[in-house]
Amino acid sequence: MDDILIKDALIVTCDPAHTIIENGALTLRDGKITALESSDIASASSFRAKKTISANGNIVMPGLINMHCHAADSLFRGLVENLPLEEWLGRVWIAEKAILTPETTYLGSILGLAENLLSGATTVMDMFWYPEETANAAKKLGMRISTGGIFFDLPGIGGRSHEDYISEAHQFSQNHEADENVIPAILPHGSYTVSPENLTDAKRIADDYGILFCTHAAETEAEQNDIKTRYNNSVIRHLDEHKLLGENVVLAHCVHLDEKEISLLAKSKTNVVLNPMSNLKLGSGIAPVKEMKRAGINLTIGTDGAISGNDLDMWLAMRLTCGLAKGFNMEADALTAEQVLHMATINGAKALGKSESIGSLEIGKCADIIMVDVNNSHSIPLFDPITHLVFGAGRSDITDVFVSGKHVVENKKITGIEIEKIYDKVRELAPQIKASLE
């Protein structure tokens, strides 16, 4: 007998063929999807489950995969505004140094990851100062997380040295080698804050453990100019020269690229995360999505941190990704809704090395599932569910979330934690956060 039967669903599988099952049903057992059928076939087959849930005609689809986030920075949402990235970072780091400890990082991680989960993101790739606390927060909420050792050459949080970062990266990678819901990674901040030698050390650790390597890259013109001045190279060429591109590499942003750099990313099979809200708000620019897509680069989508884009909304990120590509190129078919929905699901799974287990609804895959309400004024009539998901749906439409078959959001409420207590603790901390920049 199965654990859960979900019936009466409009199933958007996000599989390679974009399969849609109207009036569909799916069964879950031991955290996996065991069947996908029409509800009529499911009834005729006498499917049996311990619990039956009617989707009431709503969309059932795979959980979104937020490929770039700094969840704990939700503590600083709205604190630093109207500055370009470089000046903005200078202010952000002052606040972070004054406030962040392992304890406050855990608090902020719960806050930011809860926002993700309630928005339908079941997996998040997160870069932050204390990754164990981020991982613990994700476990508490019942979601998947990709995070790990950070590297940063400038005076950072906690006064740690390069040797400390190396030790922590090894320790995190070892701690979570067999952890089903934690995908270990090595995450140096960027080529403008980490030397080539230290980036190489970080990449070596990633390769030794067979895990991911993620860094910020080519986010602003100022970053490109900085790397050109220091190393007489562009950002992507600099990374390529030091053998820092490849299938296990995830680069966040990639806004300022020339044709050669796009070619280097494509040939090396490097993964790219688009963060349109953050890039727009900080005035960083618009990524060449059409050109990267045409080159065959695996494109994924992220929200960045709430301190830069002010929310962690993958639905807005999808809409901006698609709309900006169309508008910037003045081509209505520059990017399709189907392509963008894949960026937020199966492409993210591919970048994480997890496309066999997450990212789409297919038999045998993990039951990472979200329900999207379409019984409302902005969803009726519904002619094309995929177009609706990218251009019409929003995070307030998410009613239920499952991760490995566990019902972690039910009727818009997180089930594994009393989130109101977290809100209260953040409110108590808020005056101290505000004072950090006064």
Taking the domains of the chain in order of start, what are their residue ranges?
2-62+359-414, 64-351
Fold of 64-351: TIM Barrel (3.20.20)
pLDDT exceeds cutoff 70 at 303: yes
The reported pTM is 0.97
Confidence of residue 45 (pLDDT cuts 50, 70, 90): low
pLDDT on residue 86: 84
Decide: helix, strand or coil at residue 286: coil
* pLDDT, tens digit, 9 for 90 and up, residues 144-177: 999 999 999 988 898 999 999 999 999 999 999 9
The mean per-residue pLDDT over the stretch 252-274 comes to: 98
Confidence check: pLDDT of 48 > 60: yes
Q: What is the mean pLDDT of the chain?
A: 96
> 2-62+359-414 — its CATH code?
2.30.40.10
Work out the average pLDDT over 297-306. Answer: 97
Distance CA 263, CA 261 (A): 5
Measured at the CA of 433, the angle between CA 309 and CA 98, to 5 degrees, comes to 105
Give the whole-angstrom CA distance, residue 236 versus residue 253.
12
Residue 389: Cβ within 10 Å count: 26
Measure CA 345 to chain center: 10
Three-class SS state of 61: strand
Q: Is pLDDT above 70 for 43?
A: no
Can you list the positions of beta strands (E) in 225-368? 249-253, 271-274, 299-301
pLDDT confidence of residue 207: 98
Q: Evaluate if residue 75 carries a pLDDT over 80.
A: yes
Residue 95 has pLDDT above 70, yes or no: yes
